[in-house]
Structure 1
Amino acid sequence: MNAKTNETRQHILDVGYQLILSKGFTAVGLSELLKAADVPKGSFYHYFKSKEHFGEVLIASYFEGYMERIEALFFSKNGTGYERLMSYFNRWLDVESGRCNAHKCLVVKLGAEVSDLSETMRSELLTGAERIIAAIAKCIESGIEDGSITVQDSLSTASTIYQQWLGASLLSKLSQDTAQLGGALSMTEQLLKHK
């Protein structure tokens, strides 16, 4: 794809991301997406075979950007493994900015909605969640190595923590406050057995 083509495709994905975050996947019609992105219908089908294919690409694109951000944080040399991991989870509490918080997470927004609707979108979401868990596990391992984290099984701990945050994020959306996320932060600290 040339630069202009790539730019238009990304513009459609960016506009779609915002619409889907606010309304959900099924509630956003193709005509609404095209109008908001200010692109003709033919342009959409130049980039995406169907709305479902658009959803798959949107999820994959979301996780690419997400993984770049968390890997930059997790694998920097700033602070201990524990400090880098807790910095990540503190960002989940920031509901007003960024794409990494509880109210802007596609796993939280689309997990239940598309799992029964589209096998390929469900699979993309699962793959992305597994990549996040693996990155958390690697950060835990670096914390074990530097002595800031005292758990035995990094992958199991990462999975438990991520599940806890997804659940807290869903409850936070239902209650419209961050108390559940604060509880998840406290539990994360306890699970990591920080000294």
Structure 2
Amino acid sequence: MQTLKLDKHDKRDLILAKGAAVMMRRGYHGTGVQEIVQAAGIPKGSFYHYFASKEDFALAALASIYQPRLQRYAQALSNADKAPLARILDYYRDLQAYFSQPQGVQCHCFIGSLSFEMSEAVPAIGEHVAAVLDESVRLLAACLREAQQQGALAAEEDCDNLALFIANAWQGVLTRLKVGNDLAPLNAFVLRLERLLQP
């Protein structure tokens, strides 16, 4: 049987995927390069071929995880087949359904873990985390403004502030899920969001 050889991009993606999964579970400080390469099934030297350090790996992992997530968020919030507020509610209801599955509640928020552990120690990580969070707020605010223009939100509503409030509340939900494996904060968030956004 012939062994499948990975090209350099595939191998880098493999290291990112497997290593990020370990770092999500164990945190930045709880994960060493040895754990990353063991998860990826590669020799330690291959890690340093693609990443200068564990910090460099964490930055690359942030980009590889959150760039596609931001793209999906942007697509969901710009879906012209739905009213703007329905797009927001459906997005978070889908996340509620996902986290309600047996494997979902075991998931951890990579960006939350890194921000708690490393934002002050490594400014580049803090800046990347802030950029991801700021972009998610910007996308949400744009969708809220569209709803406002259509008369679904009050004209005096501060859409930037509302978007920031929702995004911060969601980050709190993710923290509670990691700490307690309890769906109550998630369900409370969705219920409050429905009351906040439904006309």
TM-score with structure 2 setting the length: 0.86
Is the contact made by 1:171 and 1:180 (CA closer than 8 Å) also made in structure 2?
yes
Q: Distance in 2 between matches of 1:41 and 1:83?
A: 48
Residue 13 (structure 1) shift? 0.7
Residue 169 (structure 1) shift? 2.2
Residue 143 (structure 1) shift? 1.9
Query: Any stretches of 5+ residues in structure 2 without a counterpart?
Result: 1-5
Q: Which structure has the bigger radius of gyration?
A: 2
Residue 160 of structure 2 corresponds to: 155
Residue 136 (structure 1) shift? 0.9
Residue 130 of structure 2 corresponds to: 126
Residue 189 of structure 2 corresponds to: 184
Task: State the Cα deviation string for residues 133-185 of structure 1 (Å, max 9, x = none).
Answer: 11111111222233333362211110011111111221232222111111112
* Paired-residue identity, %: 24
- The 3-state SS of whatever aligns with 2:190 is helix
Q: Distance in 1 between matches of 2:71 and 2:175?
A: 24
Q: Which consecutive aligned stretches of 4+ in structure 1 deviate over 6 angstroms post-superposition?
A: none
Residue 116 (structure 1) shift? 3.1
Q: Distance in 2 between matches of 1:169 and 1:104?
A: 7
Query: Any stretches of 5+ residues in structure 1 without a counterpart?
Result: none
Give the length in aligned residue pairs: 190
2:171 to 157, 166, 170: 166
Q: Which of 13-22 and 141-150 deviates more?
A: 141-150
Residue 3 of structure 2 corresponds to: none
Change (3 A) 1:150 1:104: farther
Residue 73 of structure 2 corresponds to: 70
2:113 to 105, 109, 114: 109
Residue 31 of structure 2 corresponds to: 28
Is the contact made by 1:48 and 1:54 (CA closer than 8 Å) also made in structure 2?
yes
Q: Which of 35-44 and 23-32 deviates more?
A: 35-44
